[in-house]
A and B are shown apart, each in its own frame.
Chain A
């Protein structure tokens, strides 16, 4: 019998202008083209790259299969005074009703720092059972609390402010050497980039397998 791929959660870490959003678009195309998984973006920064995605409300999440055509969706919270509640409701709905879907959390740094809310913890822990793939776009390792670093299976590392010689202890001990190695390699690669140009080098670390993807 053919072995099936288990879903995973990805921490996509990089400073601004390092290609996180562009790579997220490429990953979404791959997920839809190769895996036929609908893609939803939780867009907290109104990024113009997602302007042409189909706009949905939280109430539409349990019914994504009713839409026809290519399934790229975006949810943009509408009430700035109630932002946190809307995001928690979004995560709660995902956990409860959404299955076999890819969700990209654009600019999600503040929700994964410090003590992560139980709704978000539940969502990350339940991702495998729900067969959902999650991609969290964040800015640096030092911003993240231990929970996300411990429970995400893949790190995609880009240029960050983190120092490879003194990484945050929130990163699980066994993975720290790989993260340090990845950051050193990325820094070396980015040195050749001219001033003002985007620094797009990246490394993909498979945390559970303890290796950097070549």
Chain B
């Protein structure tokens, strides 16, 4: 919250020993009801013209969400929690995929791939078919690449989805602001949601990239 005390002359708290005992506490009184904000007050004071005819006072209705807002909020929640699970899952998948390769096999596969590309240019195909060991490395490397590519594809977020999520998060923040419920925690929560929902593709790319580099190094 604030930097530690750095005054070289500081002799610490002048209440040593007095705070060793647990304090006596009391039950706090009920806080006063929150006064409605200006816009809410105006809303509440507006009575329908015909209300007198029915002899009833209009009740202040709780804020209602539109169907789109509800759907979008549910999507945000699902994405936020889902993203955490998917991230964990991706890490596990990457570790599993890495374990299928022995030391140096992926590096050999990459060399082989380059060699194959060069050979293909010269009209030669399937140079590995004759050697079962080379064939095995080739297949393992391909499986490894496919697994990582599938992971990247699964988590890609298209532009329209991204916009919808951003709108839902923004609407949620605005509603909290109207109700005076906005504090540091909700801002931190929003940032986390944004990171998880908008930057998830980048995070997966990072994980898969790291896994590839590691496999190529070993």
Contacts and interface: CB of A to CB of B under 8 A. Distances in A.
A116 B184 CA distance: 37
A209 B34 CA distance: 43
A70 B183 CA distance: 14
Interface stretch (B25-33, B41-49, B71-79, B191-199): B25-33
Contacts of B25: 99-100, 131
A7 B15 contact: no
Contact of B28 (A23, A53, A98): A98
Interface string B10-29: 11111111111111111111
A7 B24 contact: yes
Q: Is the interface of B mostly helix, strand, loop or mixed?
A: loop
Given A19-B9, A97-B28, A131-B26, A27 B15 contact: yes
B2 A200 contact: no
B29 A35 contact: no
Given A35-B19, A62-B31, A63-B31, A131 B24 contact: yes
Interface in A22-46: 22-23, 25-27, 29-31, 34-35, 37
Interface string B64-106: 0000000000000000000000000000000000000000000
B14 A53 contact: no
Nearest to A158: B14
Interface size class of B (residues with CB under 8 A): 20 to 34
B29 A202 contact: no
B96 to A, nearest CB: 38
B13 to A, nearest CB: 4
A3 B24 CA distance: 9
B29 A97 contact: yes
A133 B23 CA distance: 10
Contacts of A202: 11, 14
Contact of A35 (B14, B22, B31): B22
A7 B22 CA distance: 10
B29 A6 contact: no
B185 interface: yes
B5 interface: yes
Given A30-B15, A99-B27, A100-B28, A19 B22 contact: no
A100 B23 contact: yes
A130 B28 CA distance: 8
A27 B14 CA distance: 7
Nearest to A36: B23
B183 to A, nearest CB: 7
A77 to B, nearest CB: 20
Contacts of B31: 62-63, 97
Contacts of A23: 10-11, 13-14
Contacts of B15: 10, 27, 30, 154, 156, 204
13 contacts: A3-B21, A23-B13, A25-B2, A26-B5, A30-B19, A35-B19, A53-B1, A65-B28, A72-B2, A98-B28, A99-B25, A204-B15, A213-B16
Given A7-B23, A26-B5, A50-B2, 7 more contacts: A5-B23, A26-B12, A27-B14, A52-B3, A99-B25, A100-B25, A154-B15
